[in-house]
A and B are shown apart, each in its own frame.
Chain A
């Protein structure tokens, strides 16, 4: 390969990168190193938790719901014994990290929507979230603004996500905490007859599992919302 061809190859295949050392990446490394040196945690623990953070996501939750839509017996299991159903999609709540870290939040509940009842989850206190099965919480879920306002005005907050529910659909807001985590089992939408589990899982987005969106044939992405600051962040 000539030098010219080599350069051309790079132009086509190498993704752009931030070619600058930022203060934030320096701060993250410095802080981590000091914590390790002070014995607050070990480098090994940090590496494992970082890998955990890298690989979790909403895929297991989406497959759990898709399977429940397709298999009535699995749906019964999901509602009666969510921990057992989670294991079927590869999530062990008793040892969520997979490297011996016991969980203290084993009370996992799956909330079944009906034509007249819609569920949505929040953590009014901080940002408790079913991470092993849904991955890291989105930015808006962590904000005091969402947390404070959802419990007071759920219908209006859902409308801000583009979810307008009719008045005859009741909304139940479930408040997560250190011991209890929740996930929504939404209704299967129209236009999905004959779909496979994988096809269904694609439209069961993170937002649907939190309850700020409803699954819809053809929609496979989450809503992008502006994160609003709280006016009174310490009061909730």
Chain B
């Protein structure tokens, strides 16, 4: 069996906004250790599960990003482009990557929204 065209192309898409997130490396394991927190998973994990389920069950979800494509791309990206990230950070960043690669979310738009969200959380 050979690598599919879809798998090959998804990892070739460069997304600097997500590369910056990877470089900053604020992964949960590191942050939890720094602050002495015991939870094995970050607090945003259940909300990420909510996004994935809402996407899978949405009327237009399969047109936007179908379940099997989402999981296949997550596996591919987690093993390649985002291989330095642990779970569930690799799940989150892979989902963002898949949505940007499909043009569902624009990279610039995501970068700007992240700045707005951060400003709001730090206010």
Footprint of B on A, CB under 8 Å? 15-35, 38-42, 45-54, 101, 125-127, 136, 139, 142, 144, 178, 227, 229-230, 233-236
Chain B: which residue is nearest A125 at the CB level? B68
In the assembled complex, how far is the CB of residue B14 from the closest CB belonging to chain A, in whole angstroms? 17
- Pick from A30, A54, A139, A227 the residue with the most CB of B within 10 Å: A30
Are the C-beta atoms of A23 and B53 separated by less than 8 Å?
A: no
Number of interface residues of B (CB under 8 A): 64
CA distance A125 to B75 in the complex (A): 11
In the assembled complex, how far is the CB of residue B121 from the closest CB belonging to chain A, in whole angstroms? 5
Are the C-beta atoms of A28 and B47 separated by less than 8 Å?
A: yes
Footprint of A on B, CB under 8 Å? 1-4, 7, 18, 20-21, 24, 26-28, 31-32, 34-37, 42-44, 46-51, 53-55, 57-58, 60-61, 64, 67-68, 71-72, 75-76, 78-80, 83, 87-89, 92-93, 95-96, 99, 104-105, 109-110, 113-114, 116-118, 121-122
Given contacts A24-B92, A126-B71, A234-B4, contact A30 B113 (CB under 8 A): yes
Contacts of A21 in B (CB 8 A): 118, 121-122
Are the C-beta atoms of A18 and B50 separated by less than 8 Å?
A: no
Contacts of B109 in A (CB 8 A): 34
In the assembled complex, how far is the CB of residue A16 from the closest CB belonging to chain B, in whole angstroms? 4
User: Can you give 17 A-B contacts (C-beta < 8 A)?
Assistant: A20-B35, A23-B21, A24-B27, A24-B28, A24-B92, A27-B21, A29-B47, A31-B92, A34-B105, A35-B99, A38-B105, A40-B60, A41-B55, A45-B58, A126-B67, A234-B7, A235-B3
Contacts of B60 in A (CB 8 A): 39-40
Are the C-beta atoms of A31 and B24 separated by less than 8 Å?
A: no
In the assembled complex, how far is the CB of residue B54 from the closest CB belonging to chain A, in whole angstroms? 4
Are the C-beta atoms of B121 and A139 separated by less than 8 Å?
A: no
